[in-house]
Structure 1
Amino acid sequence: MSHIQHHQPKHNRVMFLRNVGLLLLGQVAVASSLSVTSPPRVLPRASNINITSVATQGNGCPLGSISTSISPDGTTLTFGFDEFKAYYGPGYTPADKSKQCTIAMAVSYRSGQPFELLGATYRGPAQLGSGVTGTIYSSYVLTPASDAVASTQVNSTGPFMGVYTKSDTIAKSSRMLAPCQGTQVQLQINTRVSVTSRNASFSGGFDDEAPFSLGIHQLHLGWSQCGG
């Protein structure tokens, strides 16, 4: 039995190999170009950031009433409060209607891998009657970084009873990036919780509970790789 063999013309094989070679070279060139123009990605991890010191001041965070932690991926700083409560109504002073806390932190990070402040999430219990509003406002300052002050603000308006969760982002134009060549910054967070009412008969919380409290404040961070 004879076998039929098909032979590809030599010039066709040469052209085929040449085209394959050009295709592979083109793919290598594209890959090389991507590797040059795309900066290395900074993997989120807790080791990217470290809190070296924390100091607090204010009637919203008396001594021993605050905790701090860093998420496993290093993208969230969490502050827990036990006494950040605002009251409203007869028997309460103007100071009770607004509570304030200043947190001053020393934060270290990897040189060339700075972070920026992206936004915040707030969580806590509330007992707000109709016409009553609870407001949380925070401002943030990085030193050294920028003379600008970033801020977040959320409002909860009654009637509401339960646990609220509110988030706010920092405007992109206001975000502050830690210095590329630095390894430590001072982060100052000023937070105020207040209660206001259009309801003159509103007398505060139930069973001596505050109508508006801040339990958790989470500050969200973004990471980048400096060029050069």
Structure 2
Amino acid sequence: MLAKSFALAALASAAFASPLVVPVSGGDTPPADQVTISGITTSGTGCPQGSVGQFLSADRETFTLIFDSYQAQIGPGTVPTDARKFCQINLNLHYPQGFQYSIMKTIFRGYASLQKGVSGTQQATYYFSGESAQCSTKSTFTGPVTKDYTVEDDLTVASTVWSPCGADLPHQYQVPDHA
């Protein structure tokens, strides 16, 4: 079969929510028991309802999402909307007054199967609900390639989007993929 395809996001893994919480005016970080992930919601064509497994670490500092339906593909037997998938991930984190947080590192694991001349892209955009500041990363895969992959988004403090002071706004990620 000459299907040209790009499959992505079998797993968006652990450090996907390794939030760094820092005081607004410098100093110590808050006690771990005062920083909690209270909820994770997902929606989009790459993560329809009931298709994402969620696992929160015992210390509630990191989480893992496993996507059962996140696959972008082109080729015979596909429709145009199969070429692009996205998932909106909302992280609700509670932390004490006087602190801000941001995501510093994300690890994506998946599988890419691309024929010669075909490319696929994975992109992540990080932002807070109602805020205009964003940070984006992008990885491109070019065929021929058939392999498992790991992509690490290491976000620097300067380029990272920080939570507003004194507000528990959801931290959002939009992860589009296309072949």
Partner secondary structure for residue 95 of structure 1: helix
Partner secondary structure for residue 171 of structure 2: strand
Q: TM-score, normalised by structure 1?
A: 0.58
Q: 2:161 & 2:143 partners in 1: Cα distance?
A: 34
Structure 1: tracts of 5 or more residues without a match: 1-38, 196-228
Cα deviations by residue, 1:135-172 (Å, 9 ceiling, x for unpaired): 1112122146x421111211222222221001223354
Identity of aligned residues (%): 31
What is aligned with 1:190? Answer: 174
Q: CA RMSD in A?
A: 2.6
Q: 1:159 & 1:40 partners in 2: Cα distance?
A: 50
| Number of residue pairs the alignment of both structures matches | 154
Q: Which has the higher helix share?
A: 1
What is aligned with 1:158? Answer: 143
Q: How does 1:95-174 map to 2 (within 5 A)?
A: 95-143=81-129, 146-170=131-155, 172-174=157-159
Highest CA radius of gyration, 1 or 2? 1
Q: Which has the higher strand share?
A: 2
Q: 1:123 to 1:150 in 2, by over 3 A?
A: same
Cα deviations by residue, 1:10-44 (Å, 9 ceiling, x for unpaired): xxxxxxxxxxxxxxxxxxxxxxxxxxxxx544389
Structure 1 contact 129–160 (Cα < 8 Å) conserved: yes
Q: How does 1:25-64 map to 2 (within 5 A)?
A: 40-42=27-29, 45=32, 47=33, 49-64=35-50
Q: 2:140 & 2:73 partners in 1: Cα distance?
A: 16
What is aligned with 2:54? Answer: 68
Structure 1 contact 123–163 (Cα < 8 Å) conserved: yes
Q: How does 1:71-82 map to 2 (within 5 A)?
A: 71=57, 76-82=62-68
Structure 2: tracts of 5 or more residues without a match: 1-25
Q: 1:78 & 1:169 partners in 2: Cα distance?
A: 17
Partner secondary structure for residue 81 of structure 2: helix
Q: 1:130 to 1:48 in 2, by over 3 A?
A: farther
Structure 1 contact 152–168 (Cα < 8 Å) conserved: yes
1:99 deviates by 0.7
Q: TM-score, normalised by structure 2?
A: 0.71
The amino acid across from 2:127 in the alignment is V
